[in-house]
Structure 1
Amino acid sequence: MCTGKCSLCIGKTLYPLALISAFCNIILFFPDWKVTYVQNKQITEEVKLMGGLVGGGVMVLIPAFHIYMTGERGWCANRIGMFLSIILAAVGVAGALYSFSVAVLGLYHGPLCKVGDEWITPFEYKNADYLKDRASWEKCTEPKNVVKFNSGLFSVLFFVSILQIILCGIQMINGLFGCLCGTCRDTENTRHNNVILTTTVHAA
């Protein structure tokens, strides 16, 4: 496949993934769909790290824009443009890895919730075994269904970040090929110029 077309495909795919990541992180700030817990600072610590918003969101969205433009505007014929796409794809990998790490911690530690009269993280030392024991979720009386809420959104962030790492990694390889071996656009331009030259010679 042309390195430019590959970049275009990767950029298009990264856009929605980055938006999904940012959206999930924002929603995590509002368990039970209420702002009360944010105001009272009763939010799970991993949510505050904003892995999905900063890492899987902003740090992937900016590379996604450049990668997409690399294919859309024909920058794939420009070796400097392809080199920049490698650097930005590496930034995307770093952002996705951050999002991945925060998601893993969020799933591992479990949510902050009210147990009795205390706000604690009751599943912090359960090694994520609580995810299989749904009966234990009932110990969190507030926010309502917070375990299901947090585990669902952190799971989405987990899988999205893996896809982002894979796609940005592919773009790094794709960009390297574009820098070292040239691009299909280079070949197409050469063929086009040869056709024009041949036509001119025959006409003369």
Structure 2
Amino acid sequence: MCTGKCSRLVGLTLVVASLACMVANVLLMFPNAQREWTPDGITLQVWLLGGLLGGGLMVLCTGCSAVRAGGKGCCGYGCCGNRCRMLRSVFCSAFGGLGAFYCLVVASTALTNGPRCETQDHKWGTPFKDLSQSYLYNQTMWDQCVAPPNVVLWHIVLFSILLGLGLLELVLCGVQVVNGLLGTLCGDCRKGADREGEGL
């Protein structure tokens, strides 16, 4: 696969992943899809906006840059080809990689600490934060949270999505750094392929 097509594919995937991260982060602000639990039922990790800023906007900029790098380029197919945009996508991918890493760290910390909820003694807190055993696979422990309803499952599912997407984004940003460097050095190989198509 040539650098241009690879860049476009990576860019489109990053755009979709970043939009999904933003949606997941917004949903986390409304536990159980209800507004009445905001802000009492919101953990610190939700307010850190790992999915909205890190895995969202920062990666969205990277995705758009990669898609543009897969186009005709600043000078068309002649002159520098896509080298200028490919070089720009390298820096944008490094920036997006930082955002994806931030999303990854926030999501993993949130899954470790657990959700903020009202416990059975009617106090708000994070009851799973300093436990010796993990609450993730022990559903009997989830009963400690009485409000918001289903907050533990809501927390685990959405932050797991952010964790997975953040890891995917980090890998794709790394791929685009390598692809962008190759495109900067070698140009867009679609140039020759397009000419062959025109001659047929």
TM-score by length of 2: 0.89
Corresponding residue SS for 2:53:
helix
Equivalent runs, 1:86-97 vs 2, <5 Å: 86-97=90-101
Corresponding residue SS for 2:70:
helix
Provide the alpha-carbon RMSD of the alignment: 1.9
Corresponding residue SS for 1:131:
coil
2:8 matched to 1:4?
A: no
What is aligned with 1:44? 43
What is aligned with 1:202? none
What is aligned with 2:15? 15
Q: How big is the shift at 1:105?
A: 0.6
Question: Does the 8 Å contact 2:31/2:41 carry over to 1?
Answer: no
Corresponding residue SS for 1:124:
coil
What is aligned with 1:177? 182
Q: How big is the shift at 1:168?
A: 0.9
2:160 matched to 1:155?
A: yes
Question: Does the 8 Å contact 1:109/1:127 carry over to 2?
Answer: no
What is aligned with 1:107? 111
Question: Does the 8 Å contact 1:107/1:154 carry over to 2?
Answer: yes
Question: Does the 8 Å contact 1:70/1:82 carry over to 2?
Answer: yes
**How far, CA to CA, are the matches of 1:60 and 1:108 in structure 2?**
24
Determine which of 134, 137, 141 is the counterpart of 1:136. Answer: 141
Give me the identity figure in percent. 40
Q: Which has the larger helix fraction?
A: 1
Question: Does the 8 Å contact 1:100/1:157 carry over to 2?
Answer: yes
CA deviation map 1:73-115 (0-9, x unaligned) = 3458232211100000111101100000000011000001001
Question: Does the 8 Å contact 1:109/1:128 carry over to 2?
Answer: no
- Alignment length, in residue pairs? 191
- Of 56-65 and 68-77, more deviation after overlay is shown by 68-77
For structure 2, the residue ranges without an aligned partner over 5 or more in a row are none
CA deviation map 1:4-23 (0-9, x unaligned) = 11111111111111110000
Question: Does the 8 Å contact 1:110/1:128 carry over to 2?
Answer: no
Equivalent runs, 1:59-78 vs 2, <5 Å: 59-74=58-73, 77-78=81-82
Cα 1:58–1:157 shift into 2, 3 Å: same
Q: How big is the shift at 1:42?
A: 3.3
Corresponding residue SS for 1:72:
coil
What is aligned with 1:126? 131
2:41 aligned partner, one-letter code: Q
Question: Does the 8 Å contact 1:4/1:74 carry over to 2?
Answer: no
**How far, CA to CA, are the matches of 1:137 and 1:31 in structure 2?**
15
CA deviation map 1:57-84 (0-9, x unaligned) = 0000111111101113345823221110
Equivalent runs, 1:26-41 vs 2, <5 Å: 26-38=26-38, 40-41=39-40
Corresponding residue SS for 2:127:
coil
TM-score by length of 1: 0.87
2:169 matched to 1:164?
A: yes
